[in-house]
Amino acid sequence: MSGEDATDPSEVLAPGSDRGFGWWPSPWSASDVASAKTSRSGLQSDGDSVYWSESRPYEGGRQVVVCSEPGVPVVDLSPSGVSVRSRVHEYGGAAATVSDGRLFFVDQRDQRWYRIALGEGGDALALTPAPLPGEPAVRYGDGRVTRSGMWLVSVEERLISGGADHRVVAVAVDGCQRVVPLVDDGDFVAAPRLSPDGRWLAWVTWRHPHMPWDSSELWVARIEGAEGSIGIHDRVRVAGGHGVSVGQPRWLGDGSLLFVDDRSGWWLPYRVARSQWEDGTARATEPLVEAKAEFHAPDWVLGQSTMAELADGSIVCRMRRDGRDALVRLRPGPAGPLAPGWHMDIIEQPCVTISGVTVTSGGAAPGGPVAVGGVPGPQRVCVVGSTPTEAHSVFEVPLDGRSRTGRLSAPVAVTVAPGDISLARPFVAATDHGLVPGLFFAPTNAAADGPPGGRPPLVVFCHGGPTGAAESGFDPIVQFFTSRGLAVATVDYRGSSGYGRSYRRSLNGLWGVADVDDCAGFAVALVRAGWVDGSRMAIRGTSAGGLTALGALIRSRRFVGAAAWYGVTDLEALAADTHDFESRYVESLVGPWPETVALYRSRSPIHCADQVSGAVLLLQGAEDPVVPPAQSERFAERLAACQVPCRLIVFDGESHGFRRSATIEACLEAELSFYRSLFRAVGANDVPRSGT
């Protein structure tokens, strides 16, 4: 839908008077939202059991490994009091893996690998050594156990002066704390994956100044070694290279290798046979399916897994098209498993956003028959994702189209009536710079009284990344505002993922300009459509989205205020003083540094404080290594000198991305108060109602 052909806004606005917008009595308190922000990731299976990680704000942001077995209540597996979290690349991911009844995990406190035997109790066994005084700090993540069960192959990051070294290493699992380098080229590495027969290792690598979604390579090598030793040889590059992004290598039951590749302009699945790299000549040239869709997302964290093989050789995948996720099944056609002719079927399931896919073994190896009538049972397909009414849950998805989807994770702590939930409405804005896709969430609250009238205030959400994407699944933060009478728009500005490589690269050289113009243009299109009040619009963003939100108060006069959660304010400081993973990223988004330092300063809010046209709220973590708190502190000082209303709140113990429920609650309360002060248009008689 475009701004020109939008439906009548009366169809999407819930009842409520203009005086009450922003003050409707909401079923969601800030505390409820903080509790509901439990996120789930790292979905995987071992045998017939399914595992995932939960980040729990109500436990101070502790990350816990959870297990679901058929007919058994969900249980926590990781040791009590331990937070399982990797800090490789600062964003981490893939901090745990399960193999043959053993849990391997990274302890957030010291970043070392540990091992425990499930169901046996006892202390965790440290597998990697603690650095000696004066030695570099070392981090681990994304591990897989060899077929022999003797080694854990993982990513290692060593923090050194001025940057970091990255390797694929093999860690002995017997506790002798031996670490053997396998890939040590100085490049970034990710996704080390072992073939089922134990003979091959695949991994992804890239180097500065590229990010993995710009240019990366997929390699394969033969594993060698007698008992007690391990190494690799005969390395072959299978895919990728300059201007091509690859990811998610996954070994299949017939010995072939599945991966995603965007050489076509879209991240699509490819497959190569062992014979095609053993002779070092042939490579996959055609994707399994042709589609203007994405089967992958930017690898900001380790361990992305959105493809899994079923026992019949078909592949279950997450596919994003037009801003919405679907679960699909790819079936090889009569031409053969490595030739064109794959067919794609949509699998019915409840999620509109999906971040993980796994398949249990069900007693059958991939490529073999499914066990019938025995124990364990048939294969199960499971996903982690969000529905329009529930966030970040794990579901078992039936493939027969008749059985009901079952939830494996715990139900939400706060139940909200359907009439109080705002559903995402796709909207494509026709702007001066082209079409900009996004989502509109109308104010929705069954308890709001008063006759329909007026248009609601608008809060524009700028996603982080800036390769992120607007999510149509349930987000309790969005509902926190829409249930109080504020409209919300989430914008897929230029650079967003999910629309192909060309759109993802369209922000290159234009960060701080194109993203700002697109968000402002999207808001204007909503005003022209009659859906929101153009005199009462604010904008907010997280991380990179914070730069966009603050830039909108400089390049545009459409917004009366901006809120930034750990937002970028100084591009020059970001280029000079951020972690190794992103240390060259800004060059592609802005320009070479320091040669174009004037450009960096012209797009940095901190150097344009005198041009800021609205009030500012800054929410910052005191221990943020990505956007250090000094950025927000200097910006607040300059705004004060320019007499621009600004409030800065710094949270001790928080990093880049808030994890504690008390922090999230305080941020939401501060943000709501901020918007109410901006949108109070009728006068002093507007008073908050009880329960808001």
DSSP string, 279-297: SS-----S-SS--SSBS--
Q: Quick one: pLDDT band at residue 684, thresholds 50, 70, 90?
A: very low
pLDDT of residue 682: 38
Q: Between these two residues, 618 and 627, which has the higher pLDDT value?
A: 618
Q: Quick one: pLDDT band at residue 627, thresholds 50, 70, 90?
A: confident
Percent of the chain having pLDDT more than 70?
90
pLDDT of residue 134: 85
Please give the Cα distance from 526 to 455 (Å, whole number): 11
Question: Mean of the pLDDT values across residues 44-52?
Answer: 95
Percent of the chain having pLDDT more than 90?
74
Selection from 15-29, 140-154, 371-385 with the highest mean pLDDT: 140-154
pLDDT of residue 228: 82
Q: Between these two residues, 575 and 140, which has the higher pLDDT value?
A: 140
Considering only CA atoms, which of 612, 605, 621, 614 is closest in space to residue 656? 621
Domains and CATH numbers, the chain: 9-27+417-679 (3.40.50.1820)
Coil vs helix vs strand at 113? strand
Can you read off the two tokens belonging to residue 145? 């156990």
pTM of the predicted model over 0.85: yes
- Residue 433 CB: number of other CB atoms within 10 A? 17
Lowest mean pLDDT among 118-132, 157-171, 408-422: 408-422
Amino acid at 665: E
Residue 80, judged by CB atoms within 10 A of its CB (0-12, 13-18, 19+), counts as exposed
Helix axes 544-555, 514-528, angle to 10 degrees: 70
- List pLDDT tens digits, range 280-304: 655 667 899 999 999 999 999 999 9
Average pLDDT, the chain: 89
- First vs last C-alpha separation in the chain: 33
Q: Quick one: pLDDT band at residue 689, thresholds 50, 70, 90?
A: very low
Coil vs helix vs strand at 28? coil
Question: Mean of the pLDDT values across residues 129-152?
Answer: 94
Coil vs helix vs strand at 576? helix
Phi-psi sector, 630: left (phi>0), alpha (psi -120 to 50), beta: alpha
Q: Quick one: pLDDT band at residue 369, thresholds 50, 70, 90?
A: very low
pLDDT of residue 330: 97
Question: Mean of the pLDDT values across residues 493-516?
Answer: 97
pLDDT of residue 3: 43
How wide is the angle at C-alpha 562 spanned by C-alphas 449 and 672, nearest 5°?
35
Q: Between these two residues, 371 and 270, which has the higher pLDDT value?
A: 270
Q: Quick one: pLDDT band at residue 417, thresholds 50, 70, 90?
A: confident
pLDDT at 371 > cutoff 50: no
pLDDT of residue 334: 66
pLDDT of residue 343: 93
pLDDT at 495 > cutoff 90: yes
Coil vs helix vs strand at 534? coil
Q: Do 51 and 67 meet the contact criterion of CB atoms below 8 Å apart?
A: yes
pLDDT of residue 501: 97
Please give the Cα distance from 31 to 44 (Å, whole number): 31
Lowest mean pLDDT among 20-34, 215-229, 368-382, 418-432: 368-382
Question: Mean of the pLDDT values across residues 156-166?
Answer: 91
Please give the Cα distance from 153 to 179 (Å, whole number): 9
Please give the Cα distance from 574 to 592 (Å, whole number): 13
pLDDT of residue 4: 37
Q: How remote is the C-alpha of 263 from its chain's centroid? A: 23
Please give the Cα distance from 512 to 529 (Å, whole number): 26
Please give the Cα distance from 469 to 421 (Å, whole number): 21
